[in-house]
Every structure is written in C-alpha cells, then in structure tokens.
Amino acid sequence: MTIIDTIGMRMPVIIIILILSHFNAAKIQAANSDFELKEFNSCSFCSLKLGFRLLSLTDYRGITVDPNPQIMPGIAAYFYNNQLEILPMAVNYYHYTNEPYIRFRYRLYQVTDKPVIKIQNQDTTSYFRRENTFEAQFRVETFWGGNSDDYVAEVSLSYSKDMKNNWGDYLELLTKFKLESFLLDKPKVNLEPNFFASIGWGSRSQNQYIYGPEANTNGFNNIAYGLWLAVPNRADRYYPIILIKRFETLQSKFKNADYAKDHNNGVAISFLYSVKVL
C-alpha cells in the first residue's frame, strides 16, 4: 500500500479531526486572550441561501457525461462566519493559516452523472452512466495579493479520494489570473473576470472509473481553461458566477477508452445565482 493510498483511506477521519482541532484551537485562543475571534463571535449560524446553477452540459474531468443543458436548484446553510457550508450533496469547510494569503479547504461530496432537471432531452445512449460515488477532498489555496481587494491571482492544489466505488486518487492544479475589476453601481457588484487553467492527474482505478476499463494506468488525464467570472462582494471567489471553459481529455489511452471516446472534449458554460433568505 502506497503513502497516497494510506492517506486516502483515512481522508474522512483526517478531515473531521482537522476541522475539530481548528475549532478547539480557536476556542482556546479566545478563552485565553482579549482577542475577539471572528469565527465564533461573528455568527454561529450565519445565513441560508436559495439558488440554482444553470449548465450548458455536464462534464467531469475532461469528458462530457451528459450533453443536455440542466438546471440544478440548491439550498445552502452557512455557519461559523461562513466557514462551514452545508449543501444537499456536499459539506465544505475552510480556514486560513496565513490570512488572507493561504487557505485550507476540506470537502465531502457526491459525484453523479445524472442531471437534476434537464432543459432538453437529447439522445444519451452513447454516454456511459457511472455509478454514483462520494469523494473527500483536501485543497490548499494560495492568493497573490491575498483573498482581498488586492487580489491578483490564485494557485490551488487539491487532492481527492474516492470513498465508495474505486478508492482512486485525483490531484488537480488550478491557476487563476485576474484580468480586470469592474465596479457597478446598480446593483452594487464587483465583477472580476479571471483567466483560469487546470490540469488533473488520476490513479489507475480513478482513471478506469472516469474513462473506462482500458484506462488502466496512472497519469495526467485532463486539462481545462477559460473565463472565470467572480463577484467577490457577493460570493466567495471559490465559486464562479459565470464559467466558460474548454475541456479535453489528455493522452490517447484515456481519450480512446470506452467511456471517453467521442466525448473527450468540449465547451461548457455555467451560471450561478443565489439569494439570501435568512
């Protein structure tokens, strides 16, 4: 068993321990100093939001898994100064180690190929439908200029571990560079277009789950690049309000595998909208 396998098998436990240890350390700091810790004194329950994501198609790590446009309604609850986010199919938590320059993010979420609400009903007989699974993810986000008004760029590295079907490993490097910043008066929003690019690497079992049994090796498996529009005064930069991306599968052994062939590249557009109700 490799070191990656050992860490991955324990990923959910590691995430829970890290979250609890951060809470405990923060409480001790607050109890032993006059410093008012914002994570606990700002809000325990912060807000409840309703919204939806509109997608031109469904893609997953370099392949199209469903060509139909879809709408995904959602609800999200935020706790502890918005650091803990609970959604129907995911739990996200983040904290800074050097605010606002370095941030750790922990996620547990479901992976599914099935659209929530299809807007069209194109033929999908040539698209393989994978069994639903769950992943645990640890992500390090570094910000040039800080995650603030001085933001210039971001470089993030994430490690994901499948927790149900294949127990495979996935690494992704993501870079974003701010192109410009526009402040609108009505409504008062800060539009921040970024150019982004990402590259992914998967273990053998992860690649076979995504691309098919023929993808029986480790390797770099996909790239994506395009426009990432953030609205930092309304939503975390982690969430693009508008995303326009070109994606494609890398290497012929992955491109030509059974699940990926004929669906190994494309352009996807998504739009996110949410409103605070509590």
How crowded is residue 103: how many other Cβ atoms within 10 Å of its Cβ? 22
CB 212 within 8 A of CB 256: no
Tokens of 140: 């390090």
CA–CA separation, 75 and 118 (whole Å): 19
Q: What is the pLDDT along the chain (278 residues), one digit of tens a residue?
A: 555 554 555 555 555 555 555 555 544 444 444 433 344 457 899 999 999 999 999 999 999 999 999 999 999 999 999 999 999 999 999 999 999 999 999 999 999 998 999 999 999 999 999 999 999 999 999 999 999 999 999 999 999 999 999 999 999 999 999 999 999 988 889 999 999 999 999 999 999 999 999 999 999 999 999 999 999 999 999 999 999 999 999 999 999 999 999 999 999 999 999 999 99
> CA 220: distance to chain centroid?
18
CA–CA separation, 162 and 45 (whole Å): 30
- Domain count for the chain: 1
Residue 190: strand pairing partners: 183
CATH of residue 254: 2.40.230
Tokens of 55: 């997608």
> Rounded to two decimals, what is the model's pTM?
0.85
Structural domain for 50, as ranges:
3-276
